[in-house]
A and B are shown apart, each in its own frame.
Chain A
Amino acid sequence: MSEQQQERTLFQRLSESSHPIALIFFLGIRISSLLAYLFGLLFTKNFILLFITVILLLAADFWNVKNISGRLLVGLRWWNETDQNGDSIWVFETADPNRYINPIDSKVFWILLYSTPALWIALAIFAVLKFEFLSLILVIIAISLTLTNTLAFSKCDKFGKANNIATDMFGRVSGGLLNRINPLNFLNR
């Protein structure tokens, strides 16, 4: 009963999004590339087909996040352009600060943006441990594509979200650690 309640509120929360279609596509493509890699071999014995599917999903995800999700969900965009002398310029664009950024959109975007490369890196470690070097090729491509987007959007955001997360995590870890070794705590016990 309570689980159902939870699920419904999650669905309700997601439906509060300003760009529901963009959010669904963002979630769908991001997660489906991971699922296809993890469970694809249960449905097909053809590794080549799976490889191509995952690569195309990853490429679609890269394009979608870079060109669509980023600017619709959080109002950020990055690209590379060439000037007249042929020098490449990396451009990082932020939205007008008065623009309303939906908190649900922003939360989902940033959580997935940072968690996906982390998950792929974990899968890379598993692939190395299991000596699955054909899969490792896929995972390396996945890491490079997702990590590029993560770093570029962090740069757009001037590392605001990244700093919050890192500060929070470091604070929690070091806080717990220091509380444990704090001699005063020990004495007070």
Chain B
Amino acid sequence: MSGWKPVSVDPNEADDFDLGQDLIEPDVEPPQSTSAKAKTSQPTQQNPQLASSSDHNNNSFFNFTSFTAPKIDLSNTLNPILQKEQVKELRFSGGDTLDEPVWKTLQRDIHSIGIKLFSVIWPASLSKLAKVQQHNLLIYARNTGVNLGINYDEVTNNLENDISSTIDDSDLKKLDWDLWGPLVFILLFSVIVGVLSPTTSNSVVFSGVFTLIWVTFAIIAINIQLLGGTISFFSALSTTGYALFPLLISATVSIFVKLFLVRFLLFVVFVSWSIYAATLNLKVNGVLPGRIFLAIYPVGLVYATLGWLCVIT
């Protein structure tokens, strides 16, 4: 009790008095500042409301009704996230697929997954598309002034004859990204490694491998995206994830085959297959011509590590 001391209150710092002052003397501000305020009315929406309410009931000490139901607007919440992305807002106007049957949606997605899987199983089917895409990317790089270490003057003659007409747009549309393939393949791969692990704690091994592979693939995808070109993060993730399929075959076989030599041969064959498939898919999806090796090098390292994991367990 004896420690109590009177505290001198600065009227400018006490919120209550501050608010009261504003209400009593609304004309303190010079007129030009109020016009500037009107221009940026969004953040200071509360002020005119307060001022007008104080006109009506000057008798009340504080007007609480203006606080109890403030309008909240969240519509700009996502803007910082979508700042660098292109956003399109559509209003359905008939003739689209908003009312299509469920079976059709399912069919389209399964078809898209099938095409991506086929492009990994038989990568040579992409070679023509990859050539055209690389040609287009070279033109894109020349027009945007990307330094690829290539003398554009030497290849200008080749660039002039346009070969992009030999493919149609639907070929590329089919290769839109999705993450079903990576999800299923990484799950299966983690199960195989988890079950094969000799320790009793295979659930820890499983979860660890699962998380580690996802994190690794995310880092790889960031690397590929940062190398430039027209590939997006998710497209890179999808491509490198789908190309995991050959490794999955070798992992499945190595459950049954314990012979080191056979496992090693499988490792060499299937890892090269994975890397070849990933290379062609990355070329199609928009990695710049001079940077394929930079993009594929870490991918190859990861595939080799995962493949080697299957050899030694």
Contact = CB atoms under 8 A, between A and B. Distances in A.
B36 interface: no
Contacts, number: 145
Nearest to A59: B183
A89 B88 contact: yes
A25 B188 CA distance: 26
Contacts of B195: 48
A55 B183 contact: yes
B172 to A, nearest CB: 8
B18 interface: no
A182 B65 CA distance: 11
Interface of A: 22, 46-48, 51-52, 55-56, 59, 63, 67-68, 71-72, 75, 77, 80-97, 99, 134, 137, 151, 154-155, 158-159, 162-163, 166-167, 170-171, 174-175, 178-179, 182-184
Interface in B255-306: 285-286
B206 A89 contact: no
Contact of A85 (B60, B71, B140, B177): B140
Interface of B: 60-62, 64, 67-75, 77-78, 82, 85-94, 96, 98-99, 102, 105, 109, 140, 169, 176-177, 180, 183, 187, 191, 194-195, 202-204, 206-207, 210-211, 229-232, 234-235, 285-286
B234 A88 contact: yes
Consensus secondary structure, chain A interface: helix
Given A52-B191, A87-B86, A137-B211, A96 B74 contact: no
Contacts of A184: 60-62, 64
Contacts of B176: 81-82
A68 B107 CA distance: 13
Contacts of B99: 71
B199 to A, nearest CB: 13
A93 B140 contact: no
Contact of B210 (A46, A85, A137): A137
